[in-house]
Structure 1
């Protein structure tokens, strides 16, 4: 049943290549940020090249994804995701990670973990790595559930469809380079 939603995902994902920055109080900001307490899917892109990713040092947070190791492990494999997107300023970004987030933390909260760190959560902890130039990162998202129905991109139960959508999207588009599971 989740498969019926697969063709609806990428047209939405492609329209949201959102930049990330820090405000004056050093808090992470996402342009056109996902609504709080929304459940759905998200994607992370980078303009860092393979050599930069391979030479990186990761966060020492417990459970942080070791980007350098993931690069070595996945390098040259044929089923790696090869989606590239160009930003408004003509910079090229490669999709390197995707995941799902439930309403308790929300899509926004999960993306923040990937940048700020989340001990034991299996996140990228980008700002705590050597790959911390936020100009080289972009995100995208898709809302499946929210209390305000006007903010939903695809009306599909998170509980019933999210894990299947994440898996079949990867089967269709390739495994994102920095994803462990």
Structure 2
């Protein structure tokens, strides 16, 4: 498999968890307590290294209008400002397209996907850079997180699986697949690098 084919395989075989569309954020979102008894419990718990994407049913103008909350930690993402800056730099044609009313606003990779997804939601310190979703009054929006890690493999040749596992467990390998995904799908508007 070429790197672009790997990026496509990872995207198409990622697991998706929908959240939001509620009056107020559930503080336990993406914890083991929250996942208990849900169909994705074991896959999320056993995730390990991999890639992830955050999606929301907002367009770029809606994102630009989001006001930075006073509770957002120092390294939290200023959604309104960053979406405006990245739209100016990349223009609409280079950003991720709004597919079926939902937009990939962020993607990344990590040695432990589950803990990183949780950090992007619950950011509660000034030393970690993350989205800090729970600090924003956006719980009524439709959100989704997609992730790919070892439990996500399906219908793949052993040699291709082995190659993806090597990439997944390597920082530079994860970066390469992340970059290949962005070349095909566009730049997520809340990504800084």
TM-score normalised by length of structure 1: 0.76
Matched, 1:5 2:9: no
Q: 1:141 to 1:129 in 2, by over 3 A?
A: same
Corresponding residue for residue 57 of structure 1: 67
Residue 75 of structure 1, aligned match among 76, 79, 87: 87
Q: TM-score, normalised by structure 2?
A: 0.72
Any idea what the Cα deviations from partners look like across 1:96-154, whole Å, max 9, x if unmatched? 1100010xxx21111111111153322110111232x065211100005xxxxxx2525
CA-CA distance at 1:37 after TM superposition: 5.4
Partner of 1:48: 58
Contact 1:2/1:165 (8 A) holds in 2:
no
For the pair 1:27 / 2:28, whether they are aligned, the reply is: yes
Larger fraction in helix: 2
* Residue in 2 that maps onto 1:116: 122
Q: Deviations over 1:25-61 (max 9, x none)?
A: 8411466252345110001000133343222123530
Residue 101 of structure 2 corresponds to residue 101 of structure 1: no
Aligned length: 162
Name structure 1 gaps, 5 residues minimum.
86-91, 145-150
Structure 2: stretches of 5+ with no match in the other structure: 154-160
User: What do you get for the CA RMSD once the two structures are aligned?
Assistant: 2.7
Structure with greater strand percent: 1
User: What secondary structure sits across from 2:131 in the alignment?
Assistant: coil
Following superposition, which runs of at least 4 residues in structure 1 exceed 4 angstroms of deviation?
none
Aligned to 1:156: 165
Q: What does residue 156 of structure 2 align with?
A: none
Distance 1:162 1:56 in 2: 30
1:100 aligns to what SS in structure 2? strand
In structure 2, the CA distance between the partners of 1:37 and 1:141, relative to structure 1 (3 Å rule), is: closer
Higher relative contact order (CA 8 A, sep 6+): 2
Cα distance between partner residues in 2 of 1:75 and 1:152: 32
Contact 2:8 2:181 in 1 (8 A): no
Distance change in 2, residues 1:111/1:69 (3 Å): same
Q: Which residue number in structure 1 is paired with residue 190 of structure 2?
A: 178
